[in-house]
Structure 1
Amino acid sequence: MKQYIIRRILISIVVLFGVSFLIYGILRSMPGDFVEQMTSGNPSITAEQKEKLRESYGLNGGVVKGYIGWAKNALRGNFGKSFLYSKPVTEVISDRMWTSFWLAAIAFVIQLCVAIPLGILAATKQYTKTDYIIVFLALAGISLPSFFFAAVLQRVFSMGLGWVPLSGMVTARKNLTGISLTMDIGYHFILPITVFVITGIGGWLRYVRTNMLEVLSADYIRTARAKGLPERKVINKHGFRNTLIPIVTFIGGAIPSLFAGAIITEGIFSIPGLGKAALDAVANKDLPFLMGYLMFMAILTLLGTLISDILYAVVDPRVRYN
């Protein structure tokens, strides 16, 4: 296992360099840049002045030269200064990362608490009305576009009934602290979390149901039933424990993505998380932040894959990595 982890880390480093060059090349190839965006409303700016601004922002060189300069600084932990926020990229990410994490983590826990029992129930009641209803709800949730569902919730529960805030993370003009501040943030998180749960629960539910059906058709389940074990014990002890193997692996891969933020949902509800920051950075061609954000996501993806493999070996003792 130790050699496997070391080998995977070394391969991940090589992959990161390749991904970072690809991302940098794509971002530099986008039409326009931050200087064009910043000076678009000022016709008095000359071409020479724009070129000096590009030089000051490090946008005047070629892609290869620019990438080498960025990579040298990144290896020292310096991902540059955000054009849009006028702060170091690492500071912007660290400030907004936890907002995205708590928003996604709460929804993630709710999704698992609902999807796992319903997925098991649908599998044990295969081809019954219960199964059809659960699968229908799962497919409905998957089919709902998050931007459309978020707009409907805002229209009904915020603008129509006035039960919850329309957007934002805290109530304006209120200097809340402590528990009052936490409650106010939770109050603003109700609609975004609902969007996360409804649109994301279907995938988890179908995944649990599929794996549970596969386990229930295994020989050892038939043997357990033939021995006269109660159906509840067969499902919970023998079936569910083996269903956990792929589920835990899937969860391990999903955990790092909780820090990445949700661009559409955070943008609609004006939640100041990483997703909203990335959306604003794209609109303003903020190259340093986009590089830092996308590399952050790439590292989380590779880390999640490694965690999944390790968890798979922990849950299933039969798995050994050489």
Structure 2
Amino acid sequence: MRAYMMKRVLHLIPTLVGASLVIFFIFALAPGDFIDSDINLTPERALELKALYGFDKPLLERYFIWLGNALRGDFGYSLQYQQPVMKVLGEYIWNSFLIAGASLIMTWVIALLAGVISAVKMYTWYDSLVTFGVFALMSFPSFFLGLLMVKFFAVDLGWLPIGGMLNTGSEATGWAYAWEVLNHMLLPATVMTLLSVGSLTRHFRTNMIDVIKQDFVRTARAKGLKERVVVFKHALRNALLPAITLLGLELPGLFSGAIITEKVFTWPGVGYIHMEAITNRDYTLLMGFTMFLAIITVLGNLLADWLYATADPRIRMK
């Protein structure tokens, strides 16, 4: 097991190098940049700034400079925010982690319970209701669902704030600060959960249907075990194995899916500044954020491999 994990870690190196190559050249070859979008700059001043930030160098040389700096934790300088990229991401990344983590937990808990019960009560009214609900949620665009919930819960009912992370002019600290953040994150976290719970619920339902038809489940029932023990102790553990592989895609998917959601709710996270960076052609910041998603993706896949082997002791990694 340890040798396998070390091998997987070593495989991450060429994967990340290849991802950095693709990411850099996609943004480097994009027409224009932050300097070109500033109409107040004279041509001479624009050329001076490009020389200052190294935009006048050949692409291959720029890539190796960027890669060397990235290996030291320096992803460049954001011209839009006039700060290093890592500092900008550090200011906003934890806000995104907050709603992404809450959404991930709620999604897996709801999908697990709904999918398992739907499989056990297959073809009943409950199964039909869950199937209809998850397909309905999967059909909603994120911006439409977000605006719909803002209008209903924030504008019409006034139960929750419209957007942002804190009340305007708030100076709350301690528990009052935590309560304000919780109220503001409830709507965006709920929207992200509703958008992602559908496919995962169907996945759990399909896996459970396959497992509960197997011989070891029938044997457990024949031994007189309670149905709850048969379902949640014996069947569920085997049904979780295919779902674990989805975890590697769930982590980056939460951040990429939060881009529109954070924009709708003006939540100050990396998704929100990502949209601002696209508008202002701040390609250095975009490269840093996209590379962050690539790192999260490979780490998520590594975590999924480890969890898969941990959940099923029959697996022997070599």
- For the 8 Å contact 2:77–2:285, the answer to whether it is kept is yes
Give the structure 2 partner of residue 201 of structure 1: 197
Distance 2:165 2:79 in 1: 24
Distance 1:186 1:234 in 2: 37
Q: Which string of whole-angstrom CA distances, capped at 9 and with x for unpartnered residues, describes residues 111-160 of structure 1? A: 22221111111101111211111111111111111100011111222222
Change (3 A) 1:108 1:75: closer
State the TM-score, normalizing by the size of structure 2: 0.94
Give the structure 2 partner of residue 274 of structure 1: 270
Change (3 A) 1:146 1:257: closer
Distance 2:49 2:228 in 1: 70
Counting only pairs closer than 5 Å after superposition, residues 154-173 of structure 1 correspond to structure 2 as 154-173=150-169
Counting only pairs closer than 5 Å after superposition, residues 58-97 of structure 1 correspond to structure 2 as 58-97=54-93
Give the structure 2 partner of residue 180 of structure 1: 176
- Corresponding letter in the other structure for 1:217: K
- For the 8 Å contact 1:212–1:239, the answer to whether it is kept is yes
Matched, 1:320 2:316: yes
Q: Quote how far apart the aligned CAs of 1:19 are.
A: 1.1
Count, aligned residues = 318
- For the 8 Å contact 1:153–1:191, the answer to whether it is kept is yes
CA RMSD in angstroms comes to 1.8
Sequence identity (%): 40
- Corresponding letter in the other structure for 1:316: D
- Corresponding letter in the other structure for 1:123: A
> Which range is displaced more, 228-237 or 137-146?
228-237
- For the 8 Å contact 1:119–1:209, the answer to whether it is kept is yes
Change (3 A) 1:142 1:259: closer
Change (3 A) 1:69 1:185: same
Q: Quote how far apart the aligned CAs of 1:236 are.
A: 2.3
* Unaligned runs of at least 5 residues, structure 2: none
- For the 8 Å contact 1:149–1:195, the answer to whether it is kept is yes
- For the 8 Å contact 2:248–2:299, the answer to whether it is kept is no
Distance 2:112 2:97 in 1: 22
> Which range is displaced more, 241-250 or 190-199?
241-250
Distance 2:193 2:255 in 1: 16
Distance 2:90 2:181 in 1: 19
- For the 8 Å contact 2:75–2:284, the answer to whether it is kept is yes
> Which range is displaced more, 256-265 or 120-129?
256-265
Matched, 1:146 2:142: yes
Q: Quote how far apart the aligned CAs of 1:259 are.
A: 6.1
- Corresponding letter in the other structure for 1:229: L
- For the 8 Å contact 2:211–2:235, the answer to whether it is kept is yes
Q: Please list every run of at least 4 consecutive aligned residues from structure 1 whose deviation after the TM superposition is greater than 6 angstroms.
A: none
